[in-house]
Amino acid sequence: MNPGFYLRTLARESRGARGRLTFFALCLATGVAAVVAVAGLGNGLAGGVRSQARQLLAADVTVEGLHAVPKPVLEAAGRRVETGELLELVTVVSVPPAVAGDLAEAISAVPQAPPHGSAGDLAEAISAVPQAPPHGSAGDLAEAISDGADGRRQPDLANEPGHSRLVELKVVTGRYPFYGTLVLSPERTLSELLTAETCVVAPDLLHRLEVPRDGTISIGGARFRIGGVIVAEPDRIAGALSIGPRVFLSREGYARTGLGGFGSRVVHRVLFKLPEGAGPEAAQALAERLKKATGDSSAYRVQTYVDARPELRQGIRRVERFLSLVALLSLLIGGVGVSQSVRAWIASRLDAIAVLRCLGMRPREVFGLYLGQTGLLALAGSLAGAAAGLLLLVLVPRLYAGFLPQGWVTPWQPMAVLRGLGMGVGVALLFSLPPLASVRRVPPARVLRRDAEPLPPSRATLLFAGLLLAGGLVGFAALQARSLRIGGLFAAGLLAAAAVLGLSAFGLSKALGRVPRLSVAWPLRSGLSNTGRPGTGVIGSIVALGLGVLVVLALQLVHTHLADQLVADLPQGAPTAFFLDVQPDQWPGVLEVLRSEGASGVDSVPVVMARLSAINGKDVEVIAARQSGQRSENRRWALTREQRLTYLDKLPRDNKVVEGKLWADPRPEVSLEAEFAKNLGAKVGSMLTFDLQGVPLTLLVSSLRTVDWRTFGINFFFVVEPGVLEDAPQNRLAAARLPKAKEQRIQDLLAQRYPNITVIVIREVLERVVKVVQRMGIAVRTLGGFAVLTGIVILAGAVSAGTVRRGRDAALLKTLGVTRAGVAAVFAVEYALIGLVAGALGTLGGYAIAWLVVTEGFEMPWRSPLLPGAVSVAGAVALTVLAGLGASARALRRRPLEALREE
């Protein structure tokens, strides 16, 4: 056929395709919409990271490490490069006692500055002073009160600590940021607002501490007036997992806090800005120079804006990969529907195909004609889906406002649309090939003998179609996951699940057909017999619907396990709070606070900070530099991190020695956590050399142990034999269970007395994690919903494909005197049975997969809540009945004679 004739014939053959188009389009559109939305989201986020890479880094190049960046490194940058320095640490800020609550208000109402330092007079003054205190004296006032308040006169005010919060502190020297804008209120620069006495804070800190915008807070051992509030911070992603609100301090202010003491974990970061117009090559060159200047030490990380925020990009890619596969799943389920609709369509065109063959069309020409039509329909459906996907992209940033950076996700995503169209058409063609193949085998003799059915396809054809389908599946999955391995695993898992579902559906429907039904009410009898001899579409619909149910239920179960496990099920006896950087002389005081406030399960261990310098005499830096391959990142980290050592006589209960013996060798020993030892490349018998503030110490690895991290107890990778480290500089790490009602008070008290101690309440941290998990959960379940939706569309399609048969059934029943409601009841029973089979199989599968993921993937204990399963079965039945009755409405409406005359 010449192309013109082909196209003309194609156009003519597509007539009367509207009904088919709707179903076909719906099948594909839901999946394509999901694919486009996810791809668009991913592209948007990745593009956002790329285009705002400089803002995210706030510089062209940065160097960071746990120690101050040495001078030679700074000098290596050259004179034309601007630098700025940052210190970052997590600490606790609190409201100084007397400024909290009512007093703060009282102060602002105080009409006259009180006489300095005299607390006794002050109390009187407060009620009588006729003049407002000059700005900036609030701090002094507070100090005066806490220093000398008379217990009898101001008992509550003096002893009641203000609120406290964990914050992320950033100390700025020089210009910051080089890129992006730090928007502050009042609208001035950071250096204008920061003095030795002031700080700039995130607005949520004000809210959480209940301090006014011009209030005072305590950081470390010093007080700071709030000089300004952060409106937008360029290198911080709103809503991302952060420990606490941001607080800015000047270098001078930081010196006043006394937080820089030994053992505190401070990240030192130097920002470098290249001259205007410098490109990525210049940034790379500078990075190379800086790396060399650090002596290629792995203690410092050099980053350019080109590879900025790898953790962020990696996180985005992971989420995108997961969501992409879920989206692909609904597209593939749609493929099942496409396959069914093509099968039904071809079945209805057999006569026409036979005529075309009679008129002299070759089999491959007929095949080409129908393949072309399928392609056109697929394109139309995919276009509709892509449009819906783009619409979702308009909605997503609104739904996740405050979670996604503004303007990153734009609805116009041509690459995402292209991907969606490609996958939509590809999946449609892939799934319609098997039914289309039968077109080639329609015998032209059918024009003479109506019963001449298409010959069954040859084994070679079936094998070829099967291989093509499997190959295509792997290809699409690999494309979505950007990994052949993951794509292959996904495809294999899906094929296995579909096969199990299909076989079970077949077996179950056969079993239902054998249920003795003569003694049951006739609608049920009729339903049983219809389900018992399934038409071609029924097994397919059950598989599709079952897969949909499986996906949604599994996602839901995994998600609830994650969320519940994180919040509610802290193991019995597990600590609820950790206390970091407790100096040895502070410990008795901390213990007293904990005891008097009712804390239980108090546990504390000494911590000695050290660096690993050699393993079996080999320099660790050399070993680290040699790492390559998949786990190299973990290994490098394990080798070069700041190591925390403790010394214990007996191991905690959640530790188990799996190799070697504890404290049995005359040489000084260390016990290693087994997994960590693997990353280090150390075994029992290895000699580890540590650098303790310049003092070398060599220890024998005498045992390996496993740790049950789920108990949340205090645990260390390195446990050293007692009698070795006692005299080394050290601090304490403590853990305790705090009564929930006292959590805040204990934090506040400690913040007031020992400002250097960082209290981390696990509940708060977990709650934040849970919030992120929940947001993810909504996204994931929305996508899972697409899968169910597609399953339902397919079912409705399968039902309406059987309209003729149904119409005849309905007509016959009506002729026999059954009312329309009666006929509907018969049909409803049939659909309910289909829904029951699909729902039950999908639910079982969902539990199985969720169990696997929860126990194997997350290694969490499995609880099997029955409610979600019951809901999913009931939901599947209800939706199936609704969709089925909806689709058979036409069959129900027809007059009996009309239907019978068509015989």
Partner 1 sequence: MKPALELRGVVKRLPSGARTLTIVDGIDLSVAPGEFVAILGPSGSGKSTLLGLMAGLDRPTAGEVFLDGQPLHSMDEDALALLRRRSVGFVFQSFQLLQNLTALENVLLPAELARLPEPRSRAEELLAAVGLAERGHHYPSQLSGGEQQRVALARAFAPKPAILLADEPTGNLDSATGAAVLDLMAELRERGGTTLVLVTHDAELAGRAHRKVFLRDGRVERDERAG
How far CA 503 is from CA of 432, 496, 550, 780, 794, in Å, comes to: 21, 11, 16, 28, 19
Does residue 376 bind partner 1 (CB under 8 A)?
Answer: no
Shortest distance in whole angstroms from residue 380 CB to partner 1: 17
**Tokens representing 693?**
């503030």
Cα 605 → chain centroid: 34
Among residues 243 and 455, whose Cβ is nearest to partner 1? Answer: 455
Shortest distance in whole angstroms from residue 360 CB to partner 1: 2
Asked whether the CA dihedral 28, 30, 33, 34 is positive or negative, the reply is negative
Among residues 440 and 635, whose Cβ is nearest to partner 1? Answer: 440
Strand ranges (DSSP E) for 721-843?
731-737, 758-761
Interaction residues for partner 1, span 326-365 (CB under 8 A): 351-352, 354-365
Among residues 16 and 277, whose Cβ is nearest to partner 1? Answer: 16
**Helices 803-815 and 762-801: angle between axes, nearest 10 degrees:** 70
Q: Select from 48, 775, 781, 57 the least CA-distant residue to 402.
A: 775
φ, ψ for residue 198, nearest 5 deg: -120, 160
Shortest distance in whole angstroms from residue 349 CB to partner 1: 9
Among residues 12 and 459, whose Cβ is nearest to partner 1? Answer: 12
How far the first Cα of the chain sits from its last, in Å, is: 36
- 737 and 763 in contact (C-beta within 8 Å)? no
Q: Select from 220, 241, 136, 397 the least CA-distant residue to 754.
A: 220
Interaction residues for partner 1, span 612-651 (CB under 8 A): none
**Tokens representing 299?**
């203690």
Q: Look up residue 473 and give its amino acid.
A: L
Shortest distance in whole angstroms from residue 445 CB to partner 1: 4
Shortest distance in whole angstroms from residue 789 CB to partner 1: 31
Among residues 9 and 888, whose Cβ is nearest to partner 1? Answer: 9
φ, ψ for residue 613, nearest 5 deg: -110, -30
Among residues 5 and 262, whose Cβ is nearest to partner 1? Answer: 5
Interaction residues for partner 1, span 779-798 (CB under 8 A): none
How far CA 897 is from CA of 577, 707, 814, in Å, comes to: 78, 77, 10
Shortest distance in whole angstroms from residue 441 CB to partner 1: 9
Count the site residues for partner 1 by CB under 8 A. 28
Choices 447-455, 459-467, 523-531, 712-720; region in contact with partner 1 by CB under 8 A: 447-455
Write out the H or E segment, with its range, that includes residue 362: none
Interaction residues for partner 1, span 96-125 (CB under 8 A): none
Among 445, 852, 870, 889, binds partner 1 (CB under 8 A): 445
**Tokens representing 7?**
């196209």
Among residues 348 and 864, whose Cβ is nearest to partner 1? Answer: 348
Among residues 364 and 740, whose Cβ is nearest to partner 1? Answer: 364
Among 116, 213, 449, 482, binds partner 1 (CB under 8 A): 449
Q: Which residue has tokens 């261990």?
A: 605
Shortest distance in whole angstroms from residue 457 CB to partner 1: 14
Shortest distance in whole angstroms from residue 372 CB to partner 1: 15
Does residue 444 bind partner 1 (CB under 8 A)?
Answer: yes
Among residues 268 and 894, whose Cβ is nearest to partner 1? Answer: 894
Cα 573 → chain centroid: 29
Choices 328-336, 439-447, 468-476, 678-686; region in contact with partner 1 by CB under 8 A: 439-447
Among residues 104 and 356, whose Cβ is nearest to partner 1? Answer: 356
Among residues 364 and 510, whose Cβ is nearest to partner 1? Answer: 364
Among residues 356 and 883, whose Cβ is nearest to partner 1? Answer: 356
The rounded distance, in Å, linking the Cα atoms of 499 and 362 is 35
Shortest distance in whole angstroms from residue 330 CB to partner 1: 32
Choices 157-165, 443-451, 521-529, 830-838; region in contact with partner 1 by CB under 8 A: 443-451
Shortest distance in whole angstroms from residue 354 CB to partner 1: 8
Contact mark string toward partner 1, 706..745, x via CB under 8 A: ----------------------------------------
- Exposure class string for 270-305: b at 16+ Cβ within 10 A, else e: bbbbbeeeeeeebbeebbebbbebbeebbebebbbb
The rounded distance, in Å, linking the Cα atoms of 475 and 470 is 9
Write out the H or E segment, with its range, that includes residue 16: none
Give the number of other Cβ atoms within 10 Å of residue 824's Cβ.
18
Shortest distance in whole angstroms from residue 450 CB to partner 1: 9
Shortest distance in whole angstroms from residue 345 CB to partner 1: 12
Among 443, 475, 822, 896, binds partner 1 (CB under 8 A): 443
Strand ranges (DSSP E) for 629-723?
642-647, 655-660, 669-673, 687-692, 695-707, 718-720
How far CA 32 is from CA of 167, 273, 388, 424, 555, in Å, comes to: 43, 44, 9, 6, 20
Shortest distance in whole angstroms from residue 23 CB to partner 1: 18
Burial of residue 642 (CB within 10 Å: 0-12, 13-18, 19+) is middle
Among residues 217 and 346, whose Cβ is nearest to partner 1? Answer: 346
Q: Select from 810, 815, 805, 791 the least CA-distant residue to 533.
A: 805
Contact mark string toward partner 1, 1..20, x via CB under 8 A: x---x--xx--xx-xx----
Among residues 401 and 448, whose Cβ is nearest to partner 1? Answer: 448
Shortest distance in whole angstroms from residue 467 CB to partner 1: 24
Instruction: Write 741-745 long-range contacts (CB < 8 A, 24+).
Output: 742/597, 742/598, 742/599, 743/576, 743/577, 744/163, 744/164, 745/161, 745/597
Shortest distance in whole angstroms from residue 868 CB to partner 1: 48
Does residue 236 bind partner 1 (CB under 8 A)?
Answer: no
Among residues 346 and 788, whose Cβ is nearest to partner 1? Answer: 346
Choices 441-449, 561-569, 713-721, 748-756; region in contact with partner 1 by CB under 8 A: 441-449
Among residues 55 and 374, whose Cβ is nearest to partner 1? Answer: 374
- 517 and 833 in contact (C-beta within 8 Å)? no
Grouping H, G, I as helix, E, B as strand and the rest as coil, residue 730 is coil
Choices 442-450, 738-746, 854-862, 876-884; region in contact with partner 1 by CB under 8 A: 442-450
Shortest distance in whole angstroms from residue 888 CB to partner 1: 24
Interaction residues for partner 1, span 16-55 (CB under 8 A): 16
Interacting residues toward partner 1 by CB under 8 A: 1, 5, 8-9, 12-13, 15-16, 351-352, 354-365, 443-445, 447-449
